[in-house]
Amino acid sequence: MMTKNLLKVALAQISPVWLNKEKTLKKIEKSILDAAKENCELIVFGEALLPGYPFWIALTNGSAWNSKTQKELHAHYVRNSVTIEKGELEGVCKLAKEHSIAIYLGIIERAQNRGGHSIYASLVYINAVGEIKSVHRKLQPTFDERLTWSPGDGNGLQVHPLKEFTVGGLNCWENWMPLPRTALYGLGENLHIAVWPGSDHNTKDITRFIARESRSFVISVSSLMATSDFPQETPHLDKILENAPETLANGGSCIAAPDGEWLVAPVLFKEGLIIETLDFNRVLEERQNFDCVGHYSRPDVTRLSVNRERQSTVSYED
């Protein structure tokens, strides 16, 4: 699309091949190709899609101390996580470049700068020339997520130019945290990406609230997950299925316009791409009466300080 103020976006509401990195990557790459065929300029995937959300924790007494079951499931998860430094997203980056499409992708990252054994829920932005421009590690894993994910840092609180838009993103309940949101607003964000593991109970309220607060477009993308999506080779599958509901994530992907009204209401139980075109001029219209970091702010009274240094335990001087 040549008109700079228009951006065609795809929300990839898909299920992973749960805890299988290679097979889930194939599904992701197919979705990118499908979006490219529709001339989309941005595609967004849900939180932790690659290789999947740790549903087993809530289903198998994840807080049990020194549990062999929990240890083996965690080890399986780590083995299927993504090490960016080893080039494990090169195929996705190549597709972004070949088809001039930007990508937001939720991954479980095995971070080499933290020793290579702990994992993070990370949101990766790849631009339309195939460059990884930011990796945002979830600042605070939610509730039982803390039994498998590590807390991140502020390094990924970044925004990126995309035609006339400035795009940024947060993971799941980070979107409820006012200060990280403000950090992105202050960088000029006007297209906010919120990624979720799935379910409209997460997306139906906060999506419209952020849009109304920021006077930005807000894209919420969730995954799908059912017991039928659990591969047979999953460790301790019998224990997971004992207490698992048939549906673990029903989708709920949606888009709110800068006035807080639905452009696309939450979509449930439908796998595939949700495609819409956004008009940047809507942002300028709604900023006329409210701009929370611009004309409606008082930095002489309240200001935010943000540490964006990538955190690591050891600093080496060679």
| Entry pTM | 0.96
How far apart, in whole angstroms, are the C-alpha atoms of residue 133 and residue 194? 17
Q: Average pLDDT of the chain?
A: 97
pLDDT value at residue 260: 98
Mean pLDDT (whole number) for 56-60? 96
Closest of 240, 241, 180, 172 to residue 201, by C-alpha: 172
pLDDT value at residue 68: 97
pLDDT value at residue 318: 87
pLDDT band at 3 (very low <50, low <70, confident <90, very high): confident
pLDDT value at residue 315: 86
Fold of 9-286: Nitrilase/N-carbamoyl-D-aminoacid amidohydrolase (3.60.110)
pLDDT digits (tens, 9 = 90+) for 7-25: 999 999 999 999 999 999 9
Mean pLDDT (whole number) for 63-75? 96
Count of beta carbons in the 10 Å neighbourhood of residue 15: 21
Does residue 130 have a pLDDT over 90?
Answer: yes
Does residue 275 have a pLDDT over 60?
Answer: yes
What's CA 230's distance to the chain center, in Å? 21
Share of the chain above pLDDT 70, in %: 99
Which string of DSSP letters, residue by residue, matches the chain? ---TTEEEEEEEE----TT-HHHHHHHHHHHHHHHHHTT-SEEEE-TTTBT---THHHHTTTT-TT-HHHHHHHHHHHHTSB-GGGTTTHHHHHHHHHHT-EEEEEEEEE-GGGTSSSEEEEEEEE-TTS-EEEEEE-SS--GGGGGTBPP--GGG--EEEETTEEEEEEEGGGGG-HHHHHHHHHTT--EEEEE-SS-HHHHHHHHHHHHHHHTSEEEEE--EEEGGGS-TTSTTHHHHHHS--SEEEEEEEEEE-TTS-EEEEEEES--EEEEEEEETHHHHHHTTT--TTTTT--TTT-------PPP-S-----
Does residue 136 have a pLDDT over 70?
Answer: yes
pLDDT digits (tens, 9 = 90+) for 176-216: 999 999 999 999 999 999 999 999 999 999 999 999 999 99
Listed by start position, the domains of the chain span 9-286
pLDDT band at 2 (very low <50, low <70, confident <90, very high): low
Does residue 1 have a pLDDT over 70?
Answer: no
pLDDT band at 105 (very low <50, low <70, confident <90, very high): very high
pLDDT band at 112 (very low <50, low <70, confident <90, very high): very high
pLDDT value at residue 126: 98
